[in-house]
């Protein structure tokens, strides 16, 4: 893991230390921090019992009558912890690697408040958006509930190929192979439900008769006139006949949207690019008004709202699958990359 030195101290020019401190913390890179036992004991259960310091990698010495305890953390990491313990200027943290180092140390010394503060740093940055699966794994590792909720949706649609070999070798130590399978199962369940909604809503009765529906109805009527015996007893009204009420532009949109979900469910299926492809392929003179203009029928807004309401977790279904011993039916670990 990259060292937590230098780059993460943009807004902090010197390490935090107090001349009147009654305890010296010596880091792995031989930097001494003079701190207060009382403050440290309030921030950490480990520091609460000073005798326990001898068990934390600690070689106890006496320098100027002030006890010194050695720690394996670097000065940069220790400085981050102290700046969240004391009312001091907070560091500017832009590297996830450094935040992870600080989280690991705060977890090790049971600094609950510091861990919550570092969780907020991740939540307010762009880390969740950039690396949702990794953030979800970290949230599980450090039991950070808010971070877990924030990263969950992105993690469901993520692939293990999003992780580097180094990340897999480290983070996976706290994230089981079973968890990967479960996320992919959730993704498969949700994608299938999204497809059902998309096809159902795009085939709903259109309130406005577009160019292709009008042409289909004319052809249908002509076929009845030319072969009345063939249609005898099977006649239904044009509004009830699915073959004469569905716009080809919306049919094309449904096909493209569902294909996009299969390739990369993280992409917006309502993007202007997909709707432009509809215009290129659909055989409807009114496709421009139907698909590019969301206010025409409000259909896209309705579909979007319905998709947003589809659940992300399917714990009950997953547990049922496991109990039946059907793990062979679980989806593969990786998803196809966008072509």
Q: Is the pLDDT of residue 258 over 80?
A: yes
Residue 175's pLDDT band, with cuts at 50, 70 and 90, is confident
pLDDT (average), residues 188-212: 78
pLDDT (average), residues 9-26: 75
Look at 205 and 32; give whichever has higher pLDDT: 32
User: Collapsing DSSP states into helix, strand and coil, what is residue 88?
Assistant: coil
**What pLDDT score was predicted for residue 148?**
95
Q: Is the pLDDT of residue 178 over 90?
A: no
**What pLDDT score was predicted for residue 83?**
95
Q: Is the pLDDT of residue 107 over 70?
A: yes
Q: Is the pLDDT of residue 161 over 50?
A: yes
**Is residue 199 situated within a structural domain?**
yes
Look at 76 and 325; give whichever has higher pLDDT: 76
**What pLDDT score was predicted for residue 217?**
61
When the pLDDT of each residue in the chain is averaged and rounded to a whole number, the result is 78
84-88, 238-242, 292-296, range with greatest mean pLDDT: 84-88
57-102, pLDDT tens digit by residue? 444 555 457 888 889 999 999 999 999 999 998 999 999 999 999 9
Look at 214 and 154; give whichever has higher pLDDT: 154
Domain extent at residue 275: 187-225+245-309
Crossing angle of helices 272-281 and 248-263, in 10° steps, is: 130
**Is residue 263 situated within a structural domain?**
yes
CA distance 189 to 331: 10
Number of domains into which the chain is organized: 1
Residue 240's pLDDT band, with cuts at 50, 70 and 90, is very low
CA distance 333 to 137: 15
pLDDT (average), residues 4-18: 58
pLDDT (average), residues 289-317: 78
**Is residue 78 situated within a structural domain?**
no
3-state secondary structure 263-311: HCCCCCCCCHHHHHHHHHHCCCCCHHHHHHCCCCCCHHHHHHHHHHCCC
Is 103 within 8 Å of 142 (Cβ atoms)? yes
**Is residue 65 situated within a structural domain?**
no
The token duo for 100 is: 């992870």
pTM over 0.75: no
**Is residue 70 situated within a structural domain?**
no
CA distance 187 to 190: 5
Under the phi-then-psi rule, with left for phi > 0, alpha for psi from -120 to 50, and beta for the rest, what region is 42? alpha
**Is residue 304 situated within a structural domain?**
yes
**Is residue 8 situated within a structural domain?**
no
Is 87 within 8 Å of 20 (Cβ atoms)? no
Residue 235's pLDDT band, with cuts at 50, 70 and 90, is very low
**Is residue 299 situated within a structural domain?**
yes
55-69, 164-178, 209-223, range with greatest mean pLDDT: 164-178
Looking only at the bridges linking them, the beta strands covering 32-35 and 23-26 are: antiparallel
Residue 139's pLDDT band, with cuts at 50, 70 and 90, is very high
């Amino acid at each position: 893991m990259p060292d937590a030195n230098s780059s993460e101290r943009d807004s902090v020019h010197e390490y935090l230390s107090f001349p009147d401190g009654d305890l010296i913390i010596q880091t792995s890179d031989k930097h001494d921090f003079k701190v207060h036992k009382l403050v440290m004991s309030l921030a950490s259960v480990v520091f609460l019992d000073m005798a326990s310091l001898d068990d934390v990698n600690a070689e106890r010495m006496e320098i100027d009558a002030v006890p010194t305890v050695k720690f394996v953390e670097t000065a940069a990491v220790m400085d981050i912890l102290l700046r969240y313990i004391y009312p001091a200027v907070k560091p500017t943290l832009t590297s996830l690697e450094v935040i992870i180092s600080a989280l690991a140390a705060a977890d090790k010394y049971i600094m609950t408040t510091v861990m919550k503060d570092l969780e907020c740093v991740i939540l307010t940055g762009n880390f969740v958006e950039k690396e949702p699966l990794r953030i979800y794994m970290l949230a599980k590792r450090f039991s950070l509930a808010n971070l877990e909720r924030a990263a969950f949706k992105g993690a469901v649609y993520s692939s293990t190929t999003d992780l580097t070999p180094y990340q897999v070798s480290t983070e996976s130590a706290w994230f089981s192979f079973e968890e990967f399978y479960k996320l992919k199962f959730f993704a498969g369940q949700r994608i299938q439900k999204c497809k059902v909604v998309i096809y159902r809503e795009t085939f709903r009765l259109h309130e406005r008769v577009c160019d292709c529906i009008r042409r289909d109805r004319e052809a249908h009527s002509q076929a009845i006139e030319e072969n009345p015996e063939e249609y005898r007893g099977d006649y239904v009204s044009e509004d009830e006949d699915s073959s004469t009420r569905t716009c080809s532009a919306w049919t094309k949109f449904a096909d493209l949207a569902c294909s996009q979900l299969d390739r990369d469910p993280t992409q917006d299926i309502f993007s202007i690019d997909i709707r432009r492809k509809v215009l290129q392929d659909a055989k409807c003179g009114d496709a421009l008004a139907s698909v590019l203009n969301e206010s025409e029928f409000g259909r896209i807004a309705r579909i979007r709202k319905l998709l947003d309401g589809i659940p992300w977790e399917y714990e009950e279904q997953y547990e049922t699958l496991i109990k039946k011993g059907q793990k062979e039916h679980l989806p593969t670990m990786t998803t196809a990359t966008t072509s």
